[in-house]
Amino acid sequence: MLRGDNIADPRSLEAVFQLMMQRAQKVVDRSARSVHEQGLSKHTATLSDRWNEAQFLLITACLLAILMAWLMGARNKLLQESHLRSEQLDIARQDLERSNKELRETMLSKEEKEVMIKEIHHRVKNNLQIVKSLIRFQMDQVKDEHTLELFNECVNRVSAMALVHEQTYLSKDLANIDVSAYLTHLTRDLCYAYTIDTKLELDIKINIPTLGVDTLIPLGLLINEVISNSLKHAFKGRDKGTIIVHLDGDDSGLHLRIGDDGVGLPDKSNWDRPNSLGMDLIHTLAGQLGNTVHLRPGPGTVYELLPVQEQRRKRA
């Protein structure tokens, strides 16, 4: 019997085909024997019926052979498609494994690079500390007060740069350094560096959470110059005073207000004509930040740094 669960098996179809051919042959043989034994006239009708049955079986066998050939072709096609899909899946699996391996190597490489960069910042900070020590050692050999003051300013500038590298080394994200922590640390270090009798209050307002090293270094140097100038000149003869550092920003750039509430400049009309290294640095560093420097009216000395684009809009 030909069952439904093996109809697609070419061997089963071949067995059925042979069985039908055998049955057809038996029908023909019986017909021949019947004619020989009983006479042609008596079995003409029977022979005709047997012959029709044999033709039916032969036609059925041919149809089964055609069906078998078609099923074999379909089976071969399915096998080829299955083999092709298997190869494609294998290629996709290999690509995925290769991508995962490259991703792991990239992640490891990124971590290694961050460690190396942190180590570089740490070494730069240490080298700057050595430079500071050498300058201070040289200061011990100097007796002139003006020269000592210049050396001290140089030490403070080196400290401002070293502090950026220290904050970078301690930061989890090398591209984003805590601005408030850096500027607060810098301002307090400067106040400790200058021994003055005035009781100082720090008015520090930072509304920018993080900045990169490329921005923090010129910003720190600029604030160092202004605050150093305030600590040297603004509070002479005063019992108390305030150092002001306000930093904000928007899409146009940084907005910085920095200075003091001290005695003010003796001649505010010529404040923007650089006649010292400090003022030269302030203007140069402001330009690096994309800002212009302005002196705010009122008591004390307060500089305001505005983005160049905003200043152009105000003039227009």
Q: pLDDT for 202-215, tens place per residue? A: 999 999 999 888 88
Beta bridge partners, 294, equal: 304
The answer, yes or no, to whether residue 38 has pLDDT greater than 60, is no
Average pLDDT on 243-265 reads 90
pLDDT of residue 248: 93
The answer, yes or no, to whether residue 295 has pLDDT greater than 90, is no
* Tens digits of residue pLDDT in 123-142: 777 788 888 888 888 888 88
The answer, yes or no, to whether residue 285 has pLDDT greater than 50, is yes
147-178: string of b/e by CB count within 10 Å (b at 16+)? eeeebbbbbbbbbbbbbbbbbbbebeeeeebb
Domain parsing of the chain, residue ranges: 4-98, 177-315
Output the CA torsion sign for 286, 291, 295, 300. negative
Beta bridge partners, 242, equal: 201
* Tens digits of residue pLDDT in 68-120: 888 887 788 888 887 888 888 778 788 787 877 777 766 656 666 666 666 77
CATH number for the domain formed by residue range(s) 177-315:
3.30.565.10
pLDDT of residue 158: 85
Mean pLDDT of the chain: 78
Higher-confidence residue of 38 and 256: namely 256
The answer, yes or no, to whether residue 36 has pLDDT greater than 60, is no
Higher-confidence residue of 274 and 167: namely 167
If DSSP states are collapsed to H, E and C, what string results for the chain? CCCHHHCCCHHHHHHHHHHHHHHHHHHHHHHHHHHHHHCCCCCHHHHHHHHHHHHHHHHHHHHHHHHHHHHHHHHHHHHHHHHHHHHHHHHHHHHHHHHHHHHHHHHHHHHHHHHHHHHHHHHHHHHHHHHHHHHHHHHCCCCCHHHHHHHHHHHHHHHHHHHHHHHHHHCCCCCCEEHHHHHHHHHHHHHHHCCCCCEEEEEEEECCCEECHHHHHHHHHHHHHHHHHHHHHCCCCCCEEEEEEEEEEECCEEEEEEEECCCCCCCHHHCCCCCCHHHHHHHHHHHHCCEEEEECCCCCEEEEEEEHHHHHHHHC
The answer, yes or no, to whether residue 7 has pLDDT greater than 60, is no
Average pLDDT on 215-240 reads 89
Q: What confidence category does residue 145 fall into, taking pLDDT thresholds of 50, 70 and 90?
A: confident
The answer, yes or no, to whether residue 174 has pLDDT greater than 70, is no
The answer, yes or no, to whether residue 316 has pLDDT greater than 50, is no
Q: What confidence category does residue 4 fall into, taking pLDDT thresholds of 50, 70 and 90?
A: very low
Task: Express as a percent the part of the chain with pLDDT over 90.
Answer: 14
The answer, yes or no, to whether residue 144 has pLDDT greater than 80, is yes
* Tens digits of residue pLDDT in 184-197: 999 998 888 887 88
Higher-confidence residue of 96 and 256: namely 256
Q: Is 0.85 surpassed by the pTM of this model?
A: no
